[in-house]
Amino acid sequence: MKPAPFDYHRPISLDEALDLLSNLENAKILAGGQSLIAMMNFRFVQPDHLVDLARIPELTGIEERDGVIRIGAMTRQRDLEFSDVIAQRLPLVKAGLAHVGHRQTRNRGTIGGSLSHADPSAELPMLALAQDATIEVRSTRGARRLPAREFLRGYLDVAIELDEIVTAVEFPCWRAGHGWGFHEFARRHGDFAIAGAAALLELGEDQTVERVSITLNGVDVTPVRLTSAEDVMRGRRLDAELICAAAAETRHLEPLEDAHAGAVYRRHLAKMLTQRALGDAAKAGALIASV
């Protein structure tokens, strides 16, 4: 299990990286390497060139501006996990991060790497979708901004070109005091989820659902928003019955089967976990709203 040979490049500026990518054949971007190198060791992936982004300073950092949290693509998951800004402004992301792999992989894994790998059971793509994040990508041809739902195109597939690099992710914050809930089920701690649910809620007067986001992972080729459930909830008074009705919308899902789990089970989990995530979101939201 040794990787096939490749040439290694370590640009020190974004422009240099973009130049390399536009000129090299069969090149891959090396971010944290926590998925890529494993796949290279198995020789499932055999790039001729690796472009390591680790020494490009402008690709790391977390900053807040106008209610938007901008995260450099090479920011390590561990730094997100311990960021105060994220804890305060994106509590759902903070909760989800605890489920990402293990301490050793979070130390090295990056947000841009995880999004670009786009594993349908992973947490970060799901969180980006849940929060309606925007992905910023660059190439020598210029910059583009894609909403997460367009970026996450298919199974391990994202809507960027071979010469493009994800440079940053922007998470718009929800109103202070919004409710959130994150539940996933994995066979073991830190494993990829069989299924998971993330919920965000903003409640108005009288516990009316003003804004809601329900996102699932592990049930399709990409993470999915359960928009029909969101429609069910919006404008209605939040109570247990409404949560059940929303969770029941998981019946329309048609999950994939693989060696880890069948479709029926994934759908079952989706329902149970949606219920739990919404339950938590309702509690958190209601509590804060009532203070």
What is the layout of strands, in order, in the sheet containing 165-172?
62-65, 68-72, 165-172, 134-139, 142-147
Closest approach, Cβ 275 to other proteins, in A, equals 8
Pick the binder of other proteins from 14, 45, 54, 289 (CB under 8 A): 54
Q: 107 near 190, Cβ under 8 Å?
A: no
Pick the binder of other proteins from 13, 23, 41, 88 (CB under 8 A): 41
Supply the Cα-derived Rg of the chain in whole angstroms: 19
| Count of residues near other proteins by CB under 8 A | 48
For other proteins, the binding residues in 253-282 under the rule CB under 8 A are: 259-262, 264-265, 268-269, 272-273, 276
Residue type at 262? G
Nearer to other proteins, 43 or 252 (CB): 43
Closest approach, Cβ 29 to other proteins, in A, equals 13
Which window, 181-189, 208-216, 225-233, 280-288, contacts other proteins (CB under 8 A)? 181-189
CA–CA separation, 275 and 201 (whole Å): 13
Q: Between 14 and 33, how does the x/- string for binding to other proteins read (CB under 8 A)?
A: ----------------x--x
Q: Between 118 and 157, how does the x/- string for binding to other proteins read (CB under 8 A)?
A: ----------------------------------------
Residue type at 81? E
CA–CA separation, 98 and 184 (whole Å): 11
DSSP class per residue in 27-90: EEEESS-TTHHHHHHTTS---SEEEE-TT-GGG--EEEETTEEEEETT-BHHHHHT-HHHHHH-
Find the angle CA(64)-CA(67)-CA(73) to the nearest 5 degrees: 45
Contact residues: other proteins, CB under 8 A: 1-8, 10, 30, 33-34, 37-38, 41-43, 50, 52, 54, 78, 101-105, 107-108, 185, 187-192, 194, 240, 259-262, 264-265, 268-269, 272-273, 276
